[in-house]
Structure 1
Amino acid sequence: MFGDLLKRLTEPQPGRLPDPDARLALTALLVRVARSDGDYAPDEIARIDRILVRRYGLSPFEAAHLRVEAEQLETEAPDNVRFTRAIKDAVPYEDRSAVIEALWAVVLADGVRDEDEDAMIRLVASLLGVNDRDSALARQRVQARR
């Protein structure tokens, strides 16, 4: 089912992903970060769905369907470096801080800031070309909305 997308993600120089594939890849990244502490909590799942509804204008049913597909993709997806490189190519720089905000929203959804999740966000932010300062500002914006 995801063979073509995974093939593109693992190419040495992945090209820009079409919007539906970029959406799926970004959602899989949200899932990957949520799973990074070994506890894929219901609060994190609900937060992912809300992010998808807001970001893409999906119905709750469509968001849940996209998340379920992304959960499958995440288990089959390549290492973080190639995975995020394809996302970096698909998401304009000015939109990447919104991606980092979404990642922080998922991490903070269960009320626990785990060091494995922190490490994953630091890695992903770096691979997406977002520096630590901008990632910290994104986290603070998310915390201020809670």
Structure 2
Amino acid sequence: MLERLFPRRAPSPKPLPQPNAQLALGALLVRVAMANRQYVAAEVAQIDKTLAATFGLKPLEAAKLRAECEALERHAPGTPEFTQILRDEVPYADRKALGDAMWAVAMADGRRDDDEEVQLLAIETALGLSDEDIAAARKNALDGL
């Protein structure tokens, strides 16, 4: 009865963290995985693996970072803002490796998906990767199927 008289207020949402290279990469990985509107366990595991390897994190730390990146991806600005952070903070060779990591996430479910490939091309282009490097990353990922 008290609930009806004094309904609980929804808690105020926490402010989103200011994106840095870790959060920007994680959010882009999540964005690629969700491009086809399916977010499967294999993609989640690949994102965690990529975050752990890239930033030297333990599995639990990588999972926590991914969870934060999922929230950021849902409510944050578009791809250009994330890629600009990475272009500013990450050398080209490492951005090229990020492109490869994004392909690994997209292919983690063992299927090609046009929506994921379109999202990947947009991200790779925004990261400033060359056409040759984009084509090589795509070929390597698709050869692995």
Residue 49 of structure 1 contacts residue 67 of structure 1 at CA under 8 Å; is this kept in 2?
A: yes
Question: Aligned residue for 2:18?
Answer: 5
- The answer to whether the 8 Å contact 2:95/2:129 transfers is yes
Task: Count how many residue pairs are aligned between Structure 1 and Structure 2.
Answer: 132
71-80 vs 135-144, which moves further: 135-144
CA shift, 1:91, in A, is 1.3
Within 1, Cα distance between the matches of 2:15 and 2:127?
A: 22
Tell me the CA shift for residue 142 of structure 1: 4.1
State the 1:77 CA deviation: 1.4
SS of residue paired to 2:109: coil
Aligned to 2:111: 112
Q: What displacement does 1:47 show? A: 0.5
In 2, are the aligned partners of 1:33 and 1:120 still within 8 Å (CA)? yes
Q: Which residue of 1 aligns with 2:26?
A: 27
**DSSP 3-state at the match of 2:18:** helix
Partner of 1:121: 120
How big is the shift at 1:54? Answer: 1.6
Gapped runs of 5+ residues in structure 1? 7-20
Residue 131 (structure 1) aligns with: 130
Report the Cα distance in structure 1 between the residues aligned to 2:21 and 2:110, rounded to whole angstroms: 28
Which residue of structure 1 lines up, in the alignment, with residue 99 of structure 2?
100
User: How do 1:60-99 and structure 2 match up within 5 A?
Assistant: 60-99=59-98
Whichever structure has more helix as a proportion of its residues is: 1
Shift of 1:58: 1.1
RMSD between superposed Cα atoms in Å: 1.8
In the superposition, the TM-score normalised over structure 1's length comes to: 0.82
* Alpha carbons of structure 1 residues 117 and 42: separation in structure 2 relative to 1, 3 Å: same
**TM-superposition CA deviations, 1:25-82 (whole Å, max 9, x none):** 1111100111111001111001111112222221111110110000001111111222
Distance 2:65 2:127 in 1: 22
The structure with the largest alpha-carbon Rg is: 2
